[in-house]
Amino acid sequence: MPNSLAQKITHLQFIQRENSIKHHSYKEEVLSYEYIKQGDMKAVMEGVRIFHSNTVGHLSDNPLRNKQYLFIASTTLATRYAIEGGIDAETAYIASDLFIQRADKCETVAEVNDLHKEMLTYYVKQVASHQRKTVLSKPVIQCMDYVYYHLHEEVNGEIMDVYKEWKANNETREEYLERISKIEGIYVPSFYDVEYNEDNTIKTFKPNRAGVPQRVKKRIIKDLDNTYIPEKLIVPFMETVHDRIMLELFRGCIRGCRFCQAGYIYRPVRERSVQKLLNVAENSINSTGYEEMSMTSLSTSDYTKLFELTDGLLALTVDKKINLSLPSLRVDNFSMELMEKVQKVKKSGLTFAPEAGTQRLRDVINKNVLEEDLIRTAKIAFSGGYNRIKLYFMLGLPTETDEDVLGIGTLAQKVIDAFYELPPEIRKGRSVSVTVSTSFFVPKPFTPFQWEPQNKIEDMERKAQLLKNSIKNKKIVYNWHQSDVSFLEEVFAKGDRRLGDVLITANELGCKFDGWTDFFDYEKWLKAFELNGIDPKFYAHRELSYDEILPWDYADISVSKEFL
């Protein structure tokens, strides 16, 4: 046996060569710790991968002791890189001591592995938190500390008044937050403590200081004519999604569909006057040069003076070849007169939203639309020269059966049939096309369905496939939404403050531009939940109890649970 250190090294190198064993590269190791210095979650993934491999060294014949020694070495390096990343040195060293003490008490290799992942995650988050605070300016940090529950114009002046007083008195940031927390409509999360039950439901939610309201009441602007409306809009050099003038007619909705969050939180209905809207439209046209104007609201055709407004807008737009579009049309109040007005310049597509395939399910969701309304509206549109109609539906609504799913295809076919029921002189040899689009239902807070669970991903995909297979007519085009995206929408719709760390982790893992399918990476989101010890199904697939405290109960939108 070799005696000197040099001989032992040579001997071990020979053994490793014979058995194809080698340490991971120095560059690979440095990179994994550089990620810690940058506050990048890749440090956790890379660190865990290397730590679990057989390339990290042999320090003891005892497997547990070997892992404990390796843990000490890894923690020492992680601590140094975290300090270089900007966190307080003393805090980093104390954390290092505590992690190593815990490793010393581990009784299995698996426990050491889990602790190693926890250690890396801790240092990465500490560095990332420090860097966010140093990169952002103080005003931005202050803005992050509180949110407007309902963003309206009136509250801005009150906040600025408080800010000027706070600045003049040279008070602390904490005192500034205390001041604005007393303004109606302002929610300061740090001023409320949340306690959780063992089953992860909320046990208590209450203010942690005097003078803070138990619930934050929604602000309501009663007179929309006196609000500021931007008229000199920034016109981009490239085409954007909403590349047009957006004219908001009113806020709120008279309908009360049980699935619609906006219909509840924007109550009551408040309209702008015709003259105010015409003034805004004219100024916007003169300052932008846009070739399209869209009248926007939750249900535009419910505006009480729609025909008077449309006549006024046409006087401003027709000669300038500016197209007037009417989104959010309802099949139960669509008319030939309205259709003729909106196609004066250009014939845009027509889109309607029956939402459900059968009358039974439309009644369940309080979508007061009859099949007869849709067929009548389709015939009006076809008679006016339209030959393409889009229909929007939801899959996964409460009480939905396969019969309701198949009813969507049946309804689309009836619209096709309505076209061919018209006399040949009206059809004029044209063909017809109906596009059916389905999204997966996302139960939202502040709606009667807020207590309902979402369909599981496999159920969503089964229903979409069932509908697709049932559509035989090539004149019907079927599109559907991604089920995994809908799942994430539900998780964050019903999530509590614990999901904040998941959002940060997901961003650090590279989740950006998720609205584009070529960037969206569902597996990274699942990894973010895993790293934070959160099961997303808890939020999406659980039927909520009527008596439990919900994460959004801090907000008073002037609609009670009893009413819902």
pLDDT band of residue 161 (cuts 50, 70, 90) is confident
Mean pLDDT, residues 203-221 = 89
| Cα angle for residues 51, 52, 56 (degrees, 5° grid) | 50
Rounded CA separation 500/503 (Å): 5
Question: Which one is predicted more confidently, 121 or 40?
Answer: 121
Query: Across the chain, what does the average pLDDT equal?
Result: 84
User: Is 210's pLDDT higher than 80?
Assistant: yes
Question: Which DSSP state fits 402?
Answer: H
Question: Which one is predicted more confidently, 330 or 180?
Answer: 180
Mean pLDDT, residues 506-516 = 89
Mean pLDDT, residues 65-69 = 88
Question: Which DSSP state fits 549?
Answer: B
Rounded CA separation 469/446 (Å): 35
Smallest Cα–Cα separation from 254: which of 362, 307, 332? 332
User: Is 11's pLDDT higher than 70?
Assistant: no
Question: Which one is predicted more confidently, 267 or 468?
Answer: 468
User: Is 412's pLDDT higher than 90?
Assistant: yes
Mean pLDDT, residues 298-315 = 89
pLDDT band of residue 345 (cuts 50, 70, 90) is low
Task: Give me 168's structure tokens.
Answer: 């003049």
Q: Which residues pair with 435 in a beta bridge?
A: 390, 477
Rounded CA separation 561/253 (Å): 19
216-217 vs 555-556, strand pairing mode: parallel
User: Is 26's pLDDT higher than 80?
Assistant: no
Contact indicator for 445, 493 with CB cutoff of 8 Å? yes
Most confidently predicted of 333-342, 426-435, 466-475: 466-475
User: What pLDDT does 34 receive?
Assistant: 81
Cis peptide before 268 (omega within 30 of 0): yes
pLDDT band of residue 490 (cuts 50, 70, 90) is very high
245-248 vs 216-217, strand pairing mode: unpaired
Contact indicator for 305, 274 with CB cutoff of 8 Å? yes
Token look-up 């505590």 returns 98
292-296 vs 147-148, strand pairing mode: unpaired
Mean pLDDT, residues 306-334 = 84
Task: Give me 515's structure tokens.
Answer: 């609205």
φ and ψ of 430, to 5 deg: -75, 155
User: Is 278's pLDDT higher than 90?
Assistant: yes
Rounded CA separation 254/267 (Å): 9
User: Is 123's pLDDT higher than 70?
Assistant: yes
pLDDT tens for each residue of 356-410: 999 999 999 999 889 999 999 899 888 888 888 999 999 999 999 999 999 999 9
How far apart, in Å, are the Cα atoms of 500 and each of 42, 210, 507, 510?
Answer: 19, 26, 11, 16
Contact indicator for 205, 553 with CB cutoff of 8 Å? yes
Question: Which one is predicted more confidently, 7 or 275?
Answer: 275
Contact indicator for 121, 75 with CB cutoff of 8 Å? no
Q: Strands (DSSP E) along 357-488, which ranges?
A: 388-395, 433-440, 476-480
pLDDT band of residue 445 (cuts 50, 70, 90) is very high
3-state SS string over 231-286? CCCCCCCCCCCCCCEEEECEECCCCCCCCCHHHHHCCCCEECCHHHHHHHHHHHHH
Tell me what percent of the residues of the chain surpass a pLDDT of 90. 37
Contact indicator for 490, 539 with CB cutoff of 8 Å? yes
User: What pLDDT does 411 receive?
Assistant: 96
User: Is 146's pLDDT higher than 80?
Assistant: no
Residue type, position 222, single letter: K
pLDDT tens for each residue of 44-53: 777 777 777 6
Contact indicator for 194, 205 with CB cutoff of 8 Å? yes
User: What pLDDT does 3 receive?
Assistant: 56
Q: Is the pTM of this model over 0.75?
A: no
User: Is 15's pLDDT higher than 50?
Assistant: no
Give the range among 152-161, 228-237, 367-376 with minimum mean pLDDT: 152-161
Q: Which residues pair with 436 in a beta bridge?
A: 391, 478
Mean pLDDT, residues 117-129 = 85
User: Is 12's pLDDT higher than 60?
Assistant: no
Start-to-end CA span in the chain (Å): 82
Task: Give me 442's structure tokens.
Answer: 């996302």
Contact indicator for 327, 296 with CB cutoff of 8 Å? yes
User: What pLDDT does 143 receive?
Assistant: 43
Query: Sign of the CA dihedral 238, 240, 244, 248?
Result: negative
Helix or strand or coil: residue 89? helix
pLDDT band of residue 170 (cuts 50, 70, 90) is confident
Mean pLDDT, residues 309-323 = 89
Smallest Cα–Cα separation from 451: which of 415, 493, 487? 493
**R_g of the chain computed on alpha carbons:** 30
Q: Which residues pair with 54 in a beta bridge?
A: none
Mean pLDDT, residues 299-306 = 88
pLDDT tens for each residue of 518-535: 899 999 999 999 999 999
47's CB contacts (< 8 A; 6+ apart) are 32, 33, 35, 36, 74, 78, 116, 117, 120
User: Is 555's pLDDT higher than 70?
Assistant: yes
Mean pLDDT, residues 169-185 = 85
DSSP string, 507-521: HHTT---TTSTTT--
192-196 vs 202-207, strand pairing mode: antiparallel
CA atoms within 13 A on the CB side of 386: 25
79's CB contacts (< 8 A; 6+ apart) are 92, 93, 95, 96, 123
pLDDT tens for each residue of 84-121: 888 888 888 999 999 999 999 999 988 998 898 898 88
Contact indicator for 480, 524 with CB cutoff of 8 Å? no
User: Is 20's pLDDT higher than 50?
Assistant: no
